[in-house]
Amino acid sequence: MTDPAQWVSTPIPSLAEPDWPALSRLPITGSAERLVPMSLAPPPIRVFPAYARLGVPDAVNECYLREGVYRRLLAVARSLPQGLTLLVLDGWRPWRVQQYLFETLSDSIRDASPGIDEQALLERTREFVSLPSRSPDAPSPHLTGGAVDVTLCDADGLPLNMGTLFDEAVPASHAAALETQATAQLPNSARDNRRLLYHAMLAQGFTNLPSEWWHFDYGDQLWAHYHGHAQALYGPAELDTIENRWRRQL
């Protein structure tokens, strides 16, 4: 499906949340694809490294992604109706940022729900932030460079109404939430914007995390899980540094 008119008229399906233990057992072939900064991308694509701008400790002031993901995002941006484009909010994350996000959300849920048991707390936290992991066999999706957080924006760079904010940890942030719930306060334009983003991304090979309308994957274990692949492409990645470069050269 490549027609934007069809994208807007096609509902987002309601998918089950990932089976994280099963997902973590999917083998990873590994890839030498480099991480590249999305700020290299030509117009009309836009980049706003949300966590750095929000003051999250150790967040990088750039959105790095695997080269294959970078090229697919450009294809998505070029497929959108005139006057609209992608706003890239986050890509590869340092492990410390993943840990900060997980602990901060977990603490917030515990404060809001005194007495919550540990299993329920874990499940509610993982709904919006995956476990921090640098394991070569089961890395957090954003540590691979294959996971990306995106939204749509207009020609002036202003984000479109998607019904909830990026990283808003509420049920309405589930990708398909606006397909079923009453929309007195969440207009059809937000539902249609989600549909457009969802189907444009899937047309370029991405998969979506059902609990987050903004989160898409290519090449990581989440992608393999939702595409039905026997193995993933991307394991954990690290930014190239001048020290690493010199050590390789010498």
State both tokens at 221: 């274990």
CA-based nearest residue to 49, from 64, 36, 63: 63
Exposure of 98 by Cβ count < 10 A (0-12 exposed, 13-18 middle, 19+ buried)? Answer: buried
Alpha carbons within 13 angstroms on the beta-carbon side of residue 162 total 28
67 is catalytic: no
Query: Is 149 annotated as contributing to ligand binding?
Result: yes
Query: Is 199 annotated as contributing to ligand binding?
Result: no
Cα–Cα distance for residue pair 102/192, rounded to 1 Å = 30
Alpha carbons within 13 angstroms on the beta-carbon side of residue 7 total 20
Catalytic entry in 33, 118, 168, 212:
212
Strands 46-47 and 84-90: parallel
State both tokens at 180: 């079923």
What pLDDT score does 133 carry?
A: 95
What pLDDT score does 185 carry?
A: 58
What pLDDT score does 39 carry?
A: 96
Domain coordinates in residue numbering, the chain = 4-249
Cα–Cα distance for residue pair 129/131, rounded to 1 Å = 7
End-to-end CA distance of the chain: 50
Query: Is 192 annotated as contributing to ligand binding?
Result: no
Cα–Cα distance for residue pair 103/132, rounded to 1 Å = 9
3-state secondary structure (DSSP) of residue 64 = strand
CA gyration radius for the chain? 18
What pLDDT score does 12 carry?
A: 96
Pick among 3.10.350.10, 3.30.1380.10, 3.40.50.720, 3.40.630.10: CATH of 4-249: 3.30.1380.10
Q: How far is CA 53 from the centre of its chain?
A: 17
- Going residue by residue through the chain, which has 250 residues, state the pLDDT in tens, using 9 for 90 and above: 677 889 999 999 999 999 999 999 999 998 989 999 999 999 989 999 999 999 999 999 999 999 999 999 999 999 999 999 999 999 999 999 999 999 999 999 999 988 899 999 999 999 999 999 999 999 999 999 999 999 999 999 999 999 999 999 999 999 999 998 655 556 679 999 999 999 999 999 999 999 999 999 999 999 999 999 999 999 999 998 777 777 777 7
CA-based nearest residue to 64, from 93, 98, 37, 95: 37
Query: Cα dist. 195→13, 181, 198 in Å?
Result: 10, 15, 5
Q: What is the pTM of this model?
A: 0.94
Alpha helices (H) in 10-66, listed in sequence order: 20-24, 50-53
Per the DSSP assignment, residues forming a β-bridge with 88 are 47, 150
CA 195, 198, 165, 82 torsion-angle sign: negative
